Amino acid sequence: MPDAIIDAYRDQLWGLIGTLPGLDGVRERALNKFASAGFPSTRHEDWRYSDIKTLRTTPFDQMAAPMQAPDLPAPLTDVAARLVFVNGRFQESLSDMGDLLQAASVRPLANHLMANAERVDELNLGSDSINLLNTALMRDGFVLSIPAGIEIDEAIEIVHVSAGADHAAAHVRHLVEMGEGASATLLERFVGDDSAYWVNSLLQARVTEGATLTHIRMQEEGPAATHTATAIVSVGAGGNYHATNISLGSNLSRFEARVRLLADEANATVDGVALAGTGESHDMLVHVDHRMPNTTSDQVFRTVADARGKTSFQGKVTVAAGAQQVNADQSFKALLLDRTAEANAKPELEIFADDVKCSHGATVGELDDKALFYLTSRGIDPATARQMLVEAFSDEAFARTGNESLADSIRARVGQWMQNHTLEGQAA
Amino acid sequence: MLKVTDLHVSVDEKEIIKGLSLTINPGEVHAIMGLNGAGKSTLANTIAGRDDYEITSGSIEFAGKDVTELEPHERVGEGMFLGFQYPVEIPGVSNLNFMRTALNGVRKYRGEDEMSAAEFMKLVRVKAADLKMSTDMLKRFVNVGFSGGEKKRNEMVQMAVLDPKLAILDETDSGLDIDALKTVADGINAQRRDDTSILLITHYQRLLDYVQPDVVHVMIDGKIVKTGGKELAVELEEKGYADVA
């Protein structure tokens, strides 16, 4: 990697010294590691489907506050609270905490570290360069802590808006702690304008005994954006982590979920939908690590790619030695709407126990001509027929959002995407 | 109602229909009989507008309008219906959503307002009950997990909901037991009116015991070789295609 890029990020780090309590040493360690590793190229196995050439060749400044207040997206469902981040910084005036603070604790990262200097050790350095850079350059994020036994029914919405941020980046870090038996839904949304910005998010979550965290990510970044995100999650006994990632926007996106199942009956479901328009690339990676016996996981991914669009999925399941009675399933299906579209699938199983049930399946196909003719032979116009088939195809992957109105909103988004793409297809 | 004139159709550059003409008047039920490979299904699919079937010459006129160049959904809008020999399973799309979208597609084509969900439910419940289809099956995904007979009944419910002027029923009787055959025949007879036409495509005479055709055609190798009354079907059953044609 060119020295100029490392120097640019080192300069940024100097500017951040002292901004988050206790973090300076951690930042430096992370940056040194980043400097020796560099940004991954497509020769790096985990990055083979995501070519982040822009990041390798151009340094991205920290995002500054936008010239004018950006538009906020309309709600997708009723929410318990809305936290708004603009260009990577929390905006109290645009946020609405509702009654959330009566039930849970939500604090900006800075306040959290101020109050608990020793807890800086809990910040995960991350395992690849993107995470390391996030650790070195993080400026803001929230710390959400749901106390034991508290169940919050409506989603907690976190909106990330980026605007007027050409060649600038937001490195956000969120921490989520679910107390024993607590439950909550986190709805993360990412939107932005057409500037060529980079959002690099890292969320760490600890789901303790009997707790349930539902994590829905709605990625609708602007068309020139690069979106990289990592969720690092640990799940305790009888705990559940349900993630559903929807990749609709950006020019290049990559979401990676690393989940460790640490005790008896811990469960993880990680699902995803990606819709790649012309020239877009959406990559989703999951690594579920079954550390203990009697743990379960399931992954359902559905992707659709239009002309020169690319969707990729890498799903890894590891079962540790002695982790018997593990159940792990994985299903990936991709739909190609055009001959120039691309889908990649790489399931990986690493099993060191002998009494486990693990399955995986991957298919890549086109829209079924017979089904299309059947629908049109009943009076449904071809555009609507295609839309119905794509919606039906992707439906399975957001069946576990646990919220019907949210699922409907996602369904509508998928339908809208399909409408735009069918129209483009006809115009071409 | 339907006028097919000197139709030639190729599939994958192989000619399947080789100069076929057929006229069906309002109020008439016609049956086309023939062995496998005679081109019966190709004819049905071509009239319905399937695009991988290439019309090399000839024309299809429907209700006084040349529909040869129309897309399948437009032909339905004009009042045609094709009952499939092998109804397609569509996971993820409910039967109700499918039928409602279809009906509203047709209404939109005709410049009519969409039917409300409540109105539609009322209509579909009646039609489904007529054909002994449970509400549970209406809620399920289109044809997924349906038996052969249930799929054909589902075709009849769709036909009843869309109420076409011309119904082309491709081997609707195949794979049915006698009870299912009667139910399906009742559905067809209910659609038989002075202002509608029906074209039955079949292998066997047994459906014609329940739905009496006005005209029977024998199709061999892409052409109609003989036309007669309903007695022709009986003759075919007794003597076989080789002797009759």
Residues B141-193 pLDDT 10s: 999 999 988 999 999 999 999 999 999 999 998 888 898 899 999 999 999 99
Residue carrying structure tokens 């020169």: A308
Mean residue pLDDT of chain A comes to 94
Does A196 touch chain B if contact means CB atoms closer than 8 Å? no
Q: Quick one: pLDDT at residue A199?
A: 98
Q: Quick one: pLDDT at residue B245?
A: 66
Subunit contact A392:B102, Cβ cutoff 8 A? no
Q: Determine contact, residues B102/B109, Cβ cutoff 8 Å.
A: no
Question: Residues of chain A with pLDDT > 90: what percent?
Answer: 83
Helix (H, G, I), strand (E, B) or coil at A198: strand
Helix (H, G, I), strand (E, B) or coil at A397: helix
Question: Residues of chain B with pLDDT > 90: what percent?
Answer: 82
pLDDT at A109 over 50: yes
Instruction: Give the minimum alpha-carbon distance from B165 to chain A in angstroms, rounded to a whole number.
Output: 14
Q: Give the pLDDT band of residue A428 (cuts 50, 70, 90).
A: very low
> What value does the mean pLDDT take over residues A170-198?
97
Backbone phi, then psi, for A185, in 5-degree steps?
-115, 125
pLDDT at B107 over 70: yes
Does B144 touch chain A if contact means CB atoms closer than 8 Å? no
> What value does the mean pLDDT take over residues A284-309?
97
Subunit contact A371:B90, Cβ cutoff 8 A? yes
Compare A407 and A263 and report the one with higher pLDDT: A263
pLDDT at A326 over 90: yes
Subunit contact B162:A379, Cβ cutoff 8 A? yes
pLDDT at A70 over 70: yes
User: Per mean pLDDT, which of A66-70, A258-262, A424-428 is the most reliable?
Assistant: A258-262
Instruction: Give the minimum alpha-carbon distance from A372 to chain B in angstroms, rounded to a whole number.
Output: 10
pLDDT in tens, B184-210: 999 999 999 999 999 999 988 889 999
Q: Quick one: pLDDT at residue B36?
A: 86
Q: Which residues of A touch B162 (CB under 8 A)?
A: 378-379
Q: Which two tokens stand for residue A205?
A: 């979550």
Q: Quick one: pLDDT at residue A121?
A: 87
Q: Give the pLDDT band of residue A418 (cuts 50, 70, 90).
A: confident
Q: Quick one: pLDDT at residue A300?
A: 96
pLDDT in tens, A357-398: 999 999 999 999 999 999 999 999 999 999 999 989 998 898
Of A373, A379, A385, the CB nearest to B50: A373
Q: Which residues of B touch A393 (CB under 8 A)?
A: 92
Of B72, B84, B92, the CB nearest to A395: B92
Subunit contact A381:B48, Cβ cutoff 8 A? no
Q: Quick one: pLDDT at residue B72?
A: 97
pLDDT at A427 over 50: no
Q: Quick one: pLDDT at residue B203?
A: 82
pLDDT at A422 over 90: no
What span, in angstroms and rounded, lies between the C-alpha atoms of B26 and B219? 22
Q: Which residues of A touch B170 (CB under 8 A)?
A: none
Q: What share of chain A is helix, strand, coil (3-state, %, to 5)?
A: 25, 40, 35
Instruction: Give the minimum alpha-carbon distance from B93 to chain A in angstroms, rounded to a whole number.
Output: 6
Across the A/B interface, how many CB contacts are shorter than 8 Å?
A: 72
> What value does the mean pLDDT take over residues B86-111?
95
Does A374 touch chain B if contact means CB atoms closer than 8 Å? yes
Q: Determine contact, residues B80/B48, Cβ cutoff 8 Å.
A: yes
Does A408 touch chain B if contact means CB atoms closer than 8 Å? no
Does B103 touch chain A if contact means CB atoms closer than 8 Å? yes
pLDDT at A425 over 70: no
Does A11 touch chain B if contact means CB atoms closer than 8 Å? no
Does B52 touch chain A if contact means CB atoms closer than 8 Å? yes
Distances (CA, A) of B227 to A24, A232, B30, B147: 93, 74, 10, 34
Q: Quick one: pLDDT at residue A424?
A: 53
Does A388 touch chain B if contact means CB atoms closer than 8 Å? yes
Which of A333, A369, A378 would you mutate first to test chain B, the one with the most B CBs within 10 A? A378
* CB < 8 Å from B in window 161-190 of A: none
Compare A411 and A82 and report the one with higher pLDDT: A82
Q: Give the pLDDT band of residue B52 (cuts 50, 70, 90).
A: confident
Closest CA to A343 of A352, A351, A334: A334
Q: Quick one: pLDDT at residue B243?
A: 77
Subunit contact A377:B82, Cβ cutoff 8 A? yes
Q: Which residues of A touch B49 (CB under 8 A)?
A: 376-377
Does B83 touch chain A if contact means CB atoms closer than 8 Å? no
pLDDT at A423 over 60: no
- Our CA angle for A39, A44, A50, nearest 5°, is 75
Closest CA to A372 of B159, B138, B52, B96: B52
Residue carrying structure tokens 């709407």: A337
What span, in angstroms and rounded, lies between the C-alpha atoms of B99 and B79? 15
Subunit contact B162:A382, Cβ cutoff 8 A? no
Q: Give the pLDDT band of residue A115 (cuts 50, 70, 90).
A: confident
pLDDT at A84 over 50: yes
* CB < 8 Å from A in window 157-186 of B: 158, 162
Q: Quick one: pLDDT at residue A426?
A: 46
DSSP assignment of A331-387, as one string?
EEEEEESSTT-EEEEEEEEEE--SSEEEEEEEEEEE--HHHHHHHHTTT--HHHHHH
